Structures are given as C-alpha cells and as structure tokens.
Amino acid sequence: MQYLSRRSLNIAPYTAGEQPKERTYIKLNTNENPYPPSPRVQEVLRAFDAGTLRLYPRPDADGLREAIARAEGVKPQNVFCGNGSDEVLALSFPAFFDEGGLPACFANLTYSFYEVFASFFGVNTHIVPLLEDFSFDLSAMLAADCKGYYLCNPNAPTGIALPRETVEAFVSKAREKGRIVIADEAYMDFFGESAVPLTKSYDNLLVVKTFSKSYSLAGIRCGYAVGDTGLISALFRMKDCFNSYPVDAVCQAVCAAAVEDKDYREKTCTLVKTERERVRSELLSLGFTVPKSGANFLFAGRVILSGEELYSALKREGVLVRFWNKPILKDFLRITVGTPSENDALLEKLKEILR
C-alpha cells in the first residue's frame, strides 16, 4: 500500500453490473440489447483482413466519424469517437470543467459514473435532487451556481425521458448563463427525440451516444459525441493527452457498418419498446410503482418486499436484475427489457415470489 497514491487509495470507483460466471442466468441487469447486432456486422467481421492489424488504426476514426455524420445529419468535424461513451464522458470533465473550479451540476439519481469522473478529475459537483415523481428539477439546476450540466436523457436508472422541446428550452437558458450542457443519450433510440439536431443551433450542447444499447454492440466498446467544432476539438485535445488510438480498427469497421443499417436498428428498438410497455403493464398490475420509461429498462419497486429481497429471490430463481443498496434506490429494481420469453420468465418468477 505504500506505493499507492492518495487518489488510488481514497477514490470510490464505479461498480458495474454483475457478470457472473458460475451459472447461467436470465440476465436483465446490465441493459444489454437482447437481439443480435445488424447482419452487416457479421459480414464485416468475415471480410476483415487480419493482416492489417499489424498497423495502427486511424487515430481520429475518420471513416467511422464520416459514417456517423451521415447517419446523424451533421458534418464529420462535429463528431468525436471514443472507447465507449464512458470514455467520451470521462474526457468531457477535464475538457469543460476546471479542477477545483465551478462545479458540474447533475441529479442525485442519475448515471453514477458522473460522480466518479468528477472525483477522479478533481471537479467540484452540485447535486440536485429529482422531484418526487423522479423527473429532473430543471429549474433548480438552472438556479445552481455551476459551469455546466450532465443531463442523462432518458435518465438512468429511472428511464424517464425529456422531450426535445424541453431539452432545447433548458439548453437555451443554459447558454444565456454561459453554461455547457452534456446530454448523455445512451438510451435515446428507445425514445426517439435526440437533441443532435439542436447542436446545429446551440454551441453549448454536446450530445453523447453509444453503440452498446440500440446497436447491440456492448462488447465492441464504442461511443461518440456530436457538437460544435469548438467542443469537439477540446475532446480531441484531451484524447491525445491520454490515448491517441482509443478506437481500434475492427471497432471502426464494425460500428460504421452498424450505424448505416438504420432499418435494422429501428426494427430491434421497436421490438424492445413493445415488450417494455407489456412488461410495465404487468408490473403495475402486480402493485409495483413503475415510472413510464423511454429506455430499454424499467425502474420498478415499492411493493410488499424490499428491493433487496426481490433481487435476492430472483437471483435464486436464475434471474438477474440490478439493485443498489442506497437511499430511495433500495426500494427499487432496474430491470432490463429482454426477449418475450425472458420477460415471461421474469414475470412468472415475480408472481411466485410475491405470493
């Protein structure tokens, strides 16, 4: 321990969802897409020339940025790619916030990596509690003395989504105050009101997306940001101080193929959304409190058993869901929407447990 820095000794890292190896579970705990990636991904993998792996990839992922730009209706210079949206979000903290300076503002119940990143980079934080219905208190956020905001939309772990017009009003007021808004849209394709079009009008808006959810590519690790060229250039400067080649050659080729197959992505998202509404209806009938979700998961709880009791009972029955032993969250489970058969199994197990 004598060789460790104070930071490594004291920081509390992010805790990812369980990835058990000892047995097979119905895995509804990490918001993975239950459907395979686009068939075009398999075609790219089969045709990929392994001999080219002796060479470094394109450092700025130019080909992938061009494919993303076409899909998003922007220019390549407005796109940044990273090793998962987590890396993009991590780089945004030193890119836009000063160590020990004005804080980054975000909700108390949101993606917990924001607080970890802020701590790691020495960025102060201003935490704003959600309202009683789990929605963002946007007025309180705007009233905060801060440098900018992280807005997870749809929010995790609640799944509640803000319509684009609400986001635009918030971004506009933030710009009047000279503040940046980082919109984390990891689950946006399951809601369908991305703020990317707003980046053409607002130079204080950065939208961050991932290939892990709607593209079914959690195993490839790729994410991207869309925004004004000034914001994008700041991310590139941070990247080049950390890792010049974060997106490997296979990843670039696979993700370019996936982002160009819009029809397949929309088809699988529709399947997930249909099941999401069916499962939510069933959970409500069982007495759960379940906010309306715009994501590929449901936030469900406040029944006769605690979140921990339900989580443990489901795990014994071979179903994994996400549980946090924290205030408010401990009353709830976050349940990924699976295939119809996986969801049926979840609901049957819940009915047995609640009996």
- Range 6-36+263-354 has CATH code 3.90.1150.10: yes
- Range 39-261 has CATH code 3.40.640.10: yes
pLDDT tops 80 at residue 238: yes
Percent of the chain surpassing pLDDT 70: 100
How does residue 50 score in pLDDT terms, banded at 50, 70 and 90?
Answer: very high
Q: pLDDT tens for residues 191-207?
A: 999 999 999 999 999 99
Q: Per this entry, what is the length of the chain? A: 355
How does residue 22 score in pLDDT terms, banded at 50, 70 and 90?
Answer: confident
Which pLDDT score is estimated for 231? Answer: 98
| Choice among 10-14, 31-35, 133-137, 265-269 with the minimum mean pLDDT | 10-14
pLDDT tops 80 at residue 23: no
Question: 20 or 353: whose pLDDT is higher?
Answer: 353
- Average pLDDT estimate for 323-341: 95
pLDDT tops 80 at residue 1: no
CA nearest to 38, candidates 297, 268, 218 = 268
Average confidence score pLDDT of the chain: 96
| Choice among 23-27, 49-53, 200-204, 227-231 with the minimum mean pLDDT | 23-27
Question: 14 or 167: whose pLDDT is higher?
Answer: 167
Which pLDDT score is estimated for 201? Answer: 98
Which pLDDT score is estimated for 15? Answer: 80
Give me the amino acid identity at 189.
D
Q: pLDDT tens for residues 312-322?
A: 999 999 999 99
Which pLDDT score is estimated for 55? Answer: 96
**How many whole angstroms separate alpha carbon 174 and alpha carbon 73?**
24
How does residue 186 score in pLDDT terms, banded at 50, 70 and 90?
Answer: very high
Which pLDDT score is estimated for 276? Answer: 98
Check if the beta carbon of residue 195 is closer than 8 Å to that of residue 164.
yes
Q: How far is CA 173 from the centre of its chain?
A: 24
Three-state DSSP state, 59: coil
Which pLDDT score is estimated for 161? Answer: 98
Which pLDDT score is estimated for 258? Answer: 98
Which pLDDT score is estimated for 140? Answer: 98
Q: pLDDT tens for residues 59-78?
A: 999 999 999 999 999 999 99
How does residue 18 score in pLDDT terms, banded at 50, 70 and 90?
Answer: confident
Residue with tokens 């397949």: 264
CA nearest to 290, candidates 186, 188, 158, 161 = 158
How does residue 24 score in pLDDT terms, banded at 50, 70 and 90?
Answer: confident
pTM: 0.96
Which pLDDT score is estimated for 225? Answer: 98
Tell me whether domains 6-36+263-354 and 39-261 share a fold. Answer: no
Which pLDDT score is estimated for 13? Answer: 85
Helices (H) and strands (E) in the chain, counts: 12, 11
- Using alpha carbons only, what angle is made at residue 188 by residues 58 and 61, rounded to the nearest 5 degrees? 5
pLDDT tops 90 at residue 274: yes
Boundaries of every domain in the chain: 6-36+263-354, 39-261
Three-state DSSP state, 224: strand
Which pLDDT score is estimated for 267? Answer: 98
